[in-house]
Chain A
């Protein structure tokens, strides 16, 4: 994407955002609350339009396309606040995505079975969306996205609220996906997750990208620590470091 900007009324939420993603890589997107991460996903997914700049998927400009066309290109997103189909069963939720993704007949059913197995949702196949627990809904969102055979997956806090065991499982799923060649942009507040899976990390702060690089390098940058923890903390730590004591261990 090139020089993308977005404002709501007078509020400038994103400014001068430019980056491109390498195929088959996992990129972590972090930033404090309200930094504009979800807004960025909305712009890429077509749910919102940028005021400025251009967004390309391969060589195709997508920032004016309807949401459903973008999804069919293989540019698939999840929602921070889960959005599942309440009136459909879990299986139907996934099947619908597979169907619009172009699968038919036996192939469709086999694919849906495989995805439910991967996301450990088989036992809930017949449960209506409205009766699923929040962690189940989160996994269903991911499963539904997978049924579309995504080339680029935008994951907006799909792991928030999961317990450590569920978290490990989710991370494992993302690794499987990467091995299948799916490019991912992963938004997550949990540093443990971001550090564990990202090939590269982008840091968004007050609507601008303030850092971009390999995870270990990015968390070492003092401007990133400032954005996250406040200036005072970083100064204290630097004084402490000068005195020879330990460092920061994520957040």
Chain B
């Protein structure tokens, strides 16, 4: 597809999304808010998991931390929510940057398991710190109509997609793709890979936390098991892989498809939705290893080999 077609498509999708609340159908708006939320989350996962090739299983930590920090600052310290939200986003980004330094030394499965443990540990800490709401969580004042949250989530999703587009077309994006291809080779051309990976992880954390602070206000009640649910990370990952990891539109497309399918299944039975998710994962792995938008290139040397050891 040419650039112009891509821009036109992007404009049409955003316009349609902006006009959606005209329907005034509360149910529809609620579903669309959820889809926009997951489009943003999946895009945030894509930065580290898709572009950089580090499959994180713990990104829900940033979402949860953003929600909890914003709620704690506004409820306990009576900060205006916008200030609390900013601090929470910055704090989560810093958290990602600092934790990225040790975690991103690990590769492949080890990285995945370590990030999973990170998310669980973060939840454990939050559950045991009263200032962060402990096991009880927080109730926040009910605020405005559903439309506001729809626009907020949509705004973050558009920001995430636009940011991904800019990154992919920048040197920083090339650096991330180089790291994904071959980390030792990237170092050998002078790339400070630790810094680049940690930056990608921190950006991913910032986006995740932005979604989290809006989510807390939208739901007006949050507790650790909800905002640190590992299932949220699984959704981000599956949506991205289904749509096309490393692409701009892939995570959004994945969020829309899975979001719509889940709603359809839910109208039949609650259990059907998890069954559908399971089948979706299997279908992606089996039939679409590169995702719907992943261009299938008949690679001369066969499929890309896994991560290569850090040695010549």
Q: Which residues of A contact B (CB under 8 A)?
A: 38, 41-42, 45-48, 66-68, 71-72, 76-77, 79-81, 83-88, 92-93, 95-97, 99-101, 128-133, 144-145, 147-148, 156
Contacts and interface: CB of A to CB of B under 8 A. Distances in A.
Interface stretch (B39-47, B158-166, B173-181, B251-259): B173-181
B73 to A, nearest CB: 38
A156 B312 contact: yes
Contacts of A132: 300
A85 B188 contact: no
What 3 pairs across the A-B complex have the smallest Cβ distances? A100-B190, A67-B187, A83-B185
B181 A80 contact: no
Given A88-B174, A96-B191, A79 B181 contact: no
Contacts of A84: 181-182, 185
B311 A42 contact: yes
A100 B186 CA distance: 10
Nearest to B301: A130
Interface string B181-217: 1101111111111000000000000000000000000
A68 B178 contact: no
Nearest to A76: B188
B193 A87 contact: no
A133 B300 CA distance: 8
A131 B182 contact: no
B310 interface: yes
A97 B190 contact: yes
Contacts of A96: 171, 174-175, 178, 189, 191
Nearest to B192: A68
Contacts of B177: 85, 87-88
Given A99-B171, A100-B190, A42 B312 contact: yes
Interface residues of B, number: 28
B184 A85 contact: no
A99 B186 CA distance: 12
Contact of A71 (B181, B189, B308, B312): B189
Contacts of B185: 79, 83-85
Contact of A66 (B187, B301, B304, B311): B187
Nearest to A101: B190
A87 B183 CA distance: 12
A47 B189 contact: no
B191 A86 contact: no
B312 A88 contact: no
Nearest to A97: B189
A46 B192 CA distance: 13
A116 to B, nearest CB: 16
30 contacts: A38-B312, A45-B188, A47-B187, A47-B310, A47-B312, A67-B188, A68-B192, A71-B190, A76-B188, A77-B312, A79-B185, A79-B312, A83-B184, A83-B308, A85-B178, A85-B185, A86-B304, A87-B178, A88-B174, A92-B174, A95-B174, A96-B171, A96-B174, A96-B178, A97-B189, A99-B171, A130-B304, A131-B297, A133-B300, A148-B190
A91 to B, nearest CB: 10
B216 to A, nearest CB: 37
A68 B181 contact: no
- Which of A81, A93, A130, A131 has the most chain B CB within a 10 Å cutoff? A130
A71 B180 CA distance: 19
A132 B300 CA distance: 8
A83 B182 contact: yes
A71 B188 contact: yes
B299 interface: yes
B312 A45 contact: yes
B55 interface: no
A157 to B, nearest CB: 11
B246 interface: yes
Nearest to B176: A87
Given A76-B189, A131-B297, 12 more contacts: A42-B312, A71-B187, A79-B188, A80-B312, A84-B181, A85-B185, A88-B174, A88-B177, A88-B181, A99-B171, A131-B299, A144-B189
